[in-house]
Structure 1
Amino acid sequence: MSRILIVAYTHYLRDGRVRRHAEALAARGDSVDVISLDDAESGVHRGVNVVGLKIARYRGDSRSRYVRSYLEFFMRAIATALRLNSRGRYDAAIVCTMPDAAILSALPLRAFGARLVLDVHDTMPELYRDKFGGRRGALGARLLMLEERFCASLADRVLAVHKPHADRLAQAGIPERKIRVVPNSPDPAIFQSSRVRAAEREMSIVCHGTVTSRLGLDIALQAIDLLRGRLADLKLLIIGEGDHLAEVKALSERLKLDGLVTFKPPVPIEALPSMLGEVSVGLVPNRATEATQLMLPVKLLEYMILGIPVICARLRTIEYYFPGDALQYFEAGNVGQLAAAIELLYHHPERRSALARRARQAARTLSWDHERDVFFDAIDSVLPERARNRDLSKLASSSLLRLDPEEIARKN
């Protein structure tokens, strides 16, 4: 059994990747502590000891407030990590981005022998350039690229969320030998594959997650406005919060979409499947930006696993994994094409069913049932005792495979 710390500037109960990793480690017998936001979440959750810090997660346009929020979290996380370490030395600390500099909050643990893993959820340089733009955005992105490389140099292992992401990290100067790909797969204990429902002549659409400009909800609202009065029972459900939520709500009011568009706050992960289970179509309307071209949205995989057909912006990483017969693509940012895609699926419910079946098959290639072992390998590779045991186990298995049945019988 290993003692492992996870540090994440996020709400633990809403972050699927952090929870999935923590609970998987706890389920195999490791002792797992998590330092995260929101002291209301403190306590033991499914074998994981969560220590929530009472710090508000900032979402907005102020660079200085982002920095202040991050610094407050770092300082308190360092003190908390050292206090927890005094109860028993950590073997490894997994630090989740953003920001990359969060790894500094676990750096003191290295003096006690802990190995460090940097789990890069998103690439900060691209996100910064998208959010702030202009010359300052470009300069900030270059500085963040240097920070990314420096923070990765402090880690014994770096986790990427998909293959194009790993390639991008390597291009930034992070050694390939240090990088492992662990996709952001939905937890099958929560998102269970279900029978594809017979599609009916209705169109209830859902989009959930963090509400930011790059995720294109304004494009979705404009498409709904175009279709107003043409499609009966057309509805859009938006679940989430973020720094763009007020603007999206204001646009909905200006377009007079009351009755067509409903907003709901984010919910714990366990509550999502029941909310999503009654909708007709999932929507991923991301704009085409440097950041979104590198994203493989977890909500996309959640829709696919649940057997929900998906209308999705055509973006590089998504196309890398999923063919055109698994998703109803439209050109990112094109309101008319999105409206046409919605209308097509409205009039052809049998296409919805076909897309849902093919999508569910395609999503199985990224299933957590397979990726769990990839994750364990990545973590154990920095733990000398665990790595040695896994190598011996693999060697024993390969040796047995080379023996014929008669020789195995003689050895027994």
Structure 2
Amino acid sequence: MWDLAGKALILVENLSVPFDRRVWQESTALRDAGWEVHVICPRGAKRDTEAYAEIDGIRIHRYPLRAATGGPLGYLKEYGSALWHTYRLARRVGKVDVVHACNPPDLFFLVARAMRRRGARFVFDQHDLVPELYLSRFSRGEDFLYRAVCRMERATYRAADVVIATNESYRQVALSRGGKSPDKVFVVRSAPAIERFHEVEPDESLKKGKPYLLCYLGVMGPQDGVDYALRALARLRDEQGRTDWHAAFVGGGDTFDAMVELSRELGLEDSVDFTGRIPDEDLVRYLSSADVCLSPDPLNPLNDVSTMNKVMEYMAMARPIVSFELREARVSAGEAAVYAPANDESEFAKLIALLLDDPDERRRMGELGQSRVRGPLSWEHSRKALIAAYDSAVE
């Protein structure tokens, strides 16, 4: 490896950095490989609020951004603002060797194309399949906005010198729908930072006097299935006759308030806590205390082929998982999870009950998951693939 591999500019819109764990892992991996790394991202609401920060050698340029409201048209306003600020800050960063754009949105190829005139190569880091995201989030069908996001995805694929996919399902889309050459598509799986996810002494107070704690960790958006989890918990109570549990939902998102209200409508307000986003030390305390973790993402065009970060994080904490039957959920978790038929809340509840009654199976599943995250699914494998993708881009 050379002394200075080059100058890389990473563009990300949906989270601030270093709060975006995947982007932060990629940034530090590139730094360790000799790259000068700049990141352009939005400012956070409560963290990552400075306009500029240099953290561990990573130069981070942030812009103000108001999150979308009001459906698809709100996202057009958000993405337009993000694109303008990103272009403005990219000009300030100056000449780079690689523009590394993380989606959504599939619009940063416009910035990459402008910088390509000065010799930059374009790496497209496909975090989401935006056409599938649109279908799954808005239920509007293949309307004119769907056709527009398909065109943006095609333009991004065409502009990219290299594509980074988060799993094999996404890689196949890049090869088929994107028409990319197999030697220009690299799988860089998201993997939890092991040093962040470490078991601590369980906190029995989190169970609120019950024998068992159920835990959900993650974003609460329209496609994330928190409503499915809550209805499954109501069925666990009503159909399985189980009231020997308490549940914690850790995280925030667009539907947070609606999910709190749904829990009240289902009569679960005394059985469920909603913590919002919490510090890491509290997060590991909840997961270390959990007996079963929930991955209730329903089957839809996006979820079936996406790797869920929460599944990987549950596994890092050696926790057994209940999931719906999704293609990439099974690829990630294997025997560390049990799988209910897609979107079947009664079966989901039944599987929770079965695991609560089988501590040996819970322990076996947890150990299997942890060994997968520390072995074949570890960040070390992804780091090597990331560096190989960059080598291919600049060769």
The question of a shared fold, defined as TM-score above 0.5 by the shorter chain, is answered with yes
Q: Are 2:7 and 1:3 equivalent residues in the alignment?
A: yes
Q: Which amino acid aligns with 2:233?
A: I
Aligned position for 1:132: 138
Aligned position for 1:182: 188
Q: Are 2:99 and 1:90 equivalent residues in the alignment?
A: no
Shift of 1:268: 5.9
Aligned position for 1:370: 381
Aligned position for 1:261: 272
**Which residue among 327, 330, 334 is the counterpart of 1:319?**
330
Aligned position for 1:123: 129
The number of residues matched between the two structures is 376
CA distance in 1, matches of 2:284, 2:162: 33
Task: Check whether the contact 1:81–1:106 (CA below 8 A) recurs between aligned residues.
Answer: no
CA distance in 2, matches of 1:196, 1:140: 49
Distance 1:196 1:367, change over 3 A: farther
Shift of 1:195: 9.7
Distance 1:120 1:267, change over 3 A: farther
Task: Check whether the contact 2:163–2:174 (CA below 8 A) recurs between aligned residues.
Answer: no
CA distance in 2, matches of 1:269, 1:115: 36
Distance 1:269 1:163, change over 3 A: farther
Shift of 1:55: 1.0
Q: Secondary structure at the match of 2:223?
A: helix
For structure 1, list consecutive stretches of 5 or more residues without a partner in the other structure.
385-412
What root-mean-square deviation, in Å, do the aligned CA atoms of Structure 1 and Structure 2 show?
2.4
Distance 1:245 1:285, change over 3 A: same
Identity of aligned residues (%): 26
Task: Check whether the contact 2:201–2:285 (CA below 8 A) recurs between aligned residues.
Answer: no
CA distance in 1, matches of 2:186, 2:385: 8
Aligned position for 1:343: 353
CA distance in 2, matches of 1:15, 1:268: 14
Shift of 1:196: 12
Task: Check whether the contact 1:6–1:34 (CA below 8 A) recurs between aligned residues.
Answer: yes
Distance 1:269 1:122, change over 3 A: farther
Distance 1:47 1:246, change over 3 A: same
Shift of 1:299: 1.1
CA distance in 2, matches of 1:244, 1:13: 24
CA distance in 1, matches of 2:272, 2:59: 39
Q: Which amino acid aligns with 1:43?
A: A
Shift of 1:141: 2.8
Task: Check whether the contact 1:215–1:287 (CA below 8 A) recurs between aligned residues.
Answer: yes
Distance 1:130 1:147, change over 3 A: same
Shift of 1:259: 2.5
Task: Check whether the contact 1:13–1:268 (CA below 8 A) recurs between aligned residues.
Answer: no
CA distance in 1, matches of 2:307, 2:229: 19
Distance 1:72 1:90, change over 3 A: same
TM-score (norm. length: structure 2): 0.88
Q: Which amino acid aligns with 2:122?
A: L
Task: Check whether the contact 1:13–1:269 (CA below 8 A) recurs between aligned residues.
Answer: no
